[in-house]
Amino acid sequence: MVNKIIRFIFFGNYFVGLLAVALTLEATQQLRLPYNSLNYFLLLFLAPTIYYTYAYNRVSTKPSATNPRNQWYFTHKNFINWSQGILFAICMALAINLLCRNFDNILKLPSSYWIAIVIIIIAGGLYYGLLPKSFLKFNLRNTGWLKAFVIGFVWACCANVLPLIMLKIETGIGYHDSVLWTWLFIKNWMFCTVNAIIFDIKDYPTDSNKHLRTFVVRYGLRRTIFSILIPLLIIGLISLSIFAYFKGFGLPQVFFNVLPFILTIYVAYSMHHRKNILYYLMVIDGLILFKAICGIIGMQFVH
């Protein structure tokens, strides 16, 4: 029973929705901004859940004895189709409610906000090739090494850009500390990029057969870990230290911001041995949740 619940949460991508909410809460705390509406947070939870489920469901057309997630999608195809329809209907109702309540404010959004919205939508659509091929054949997944940076970029936008856009729409409040915002955006971007590179280890045999030149396929497992993952994380730690010094962060705040980087270095080092799919979904993606929790806790020591 417990195993079924775990598979439902992680294979059904409900954990992904939780990650989107957690990262947004962390960014809201760190930027010391008012919280967005409950309507927005529900939409934020549902949208990535539907998005990732749709993407995986498209390719899970045949059962696979070697891929438990693919097998789960094939076995529960009817349930997935029904749940996707219900969740999409709820998502649309929330979006329409948000639109009706803030229609005038949406029309008054500065052009820079609209440019950000368009970039996020295009990047998200291109990553899984969800845009019609008649419109654009380019698929960011097929660029190999760029894929991880695109994933990190989309998640950083979800955490650090969308909340500002919605805050502007719902309250008219803008954010003006560009230095802090830029650093937090880059930190989220690089952390989520490293997370995506680690996750590519799972797909190494498939990506290699498809000639998809991810970091792991291009450089091998050991070199990816020691020459790419760990150096990126160490650079992140150094930049964190410099920023913390100039911003006058206290020791507890620095400690809780450093913890996710140290844990990720440990997890990256442990990737010498292949793990099952649930390990990647629970532990690797769980690093993002751990980072968000640490960021929120760290802000409790700021006066």
pLDDT at 148: 81
Q: Using 50, 70 and 90 to split pLDDT, how confident is the model at 204?
A: low
Element at 23 (helix H, strand E): helix 14-30
Q: Using 50, 70 and 90 to split pLDDT, how confident is the model at 88?
A: very high
pLDDT at 223: 78
> 219 near 228, Cβ under 8 Å?
yes
Write the pLDDT tens digit of every residue in 259-299: 998 898 888 877 766 677 788 888 888 999 999 999 999 88
Give the residue-averaged pLDDT of 42-52. 93
Residue 133 pLDDT greater than 60, yes or no? no
Number of other CB atoms surrounding residue 223 within 10 Å: 13
pLDDT at 210: 54
> 291 near 27, Cβ under 8 Å?
no
C-alpha–C-alpha distance, residues 88 and 69, integer Å: 22
The H-assigned helical ranges of 103-229 are 103-107, 111-127, 145-160, 162-171, 178-200, 204-209, 215-219, 221-224
Per the structure block, which two tokens stand in for 263? 């844990």
Largest CA distance in the chain: 55
Residue 29 pLDDT greater than 60, yes or no? yes
Write the pLDDT tens digit of every residue in 145-201: 677 888 888 899 998 999 999 999 988 887 777 777 888 888 888 888 888 888 777
Residue 135 pLDDT greater than 60, yes or no? no
| Angle (deg, nearest 10), helices 14-30 and 2-11 | 60
Residue 142 pLDDT greater than 70, yes or no? no
Which residues span the domain enclosing 44? 2-299
What's the structural domain count of the chain?
Answer: 1
Q: Considering only 32-41, 132-141, 150-159, 168-177, which range has the smallest mean pLDDT?
A: 132-141
Torsion of CA 9, 13, 19, 20, to 10 degrees: -140
Percent of the chain scoring above 70 in pLDDT: 84
Q: Using 50, 70 and 90 to split pLDDT, how confident is the model at 86?
A: very high
Quickly list DSSP for 165-188: HHHHHHH------HHHHHHHHHHH
> 298 near 252, Cβ under 8 Å?
yes
Residue-averaged pLDDT of the chain: 82
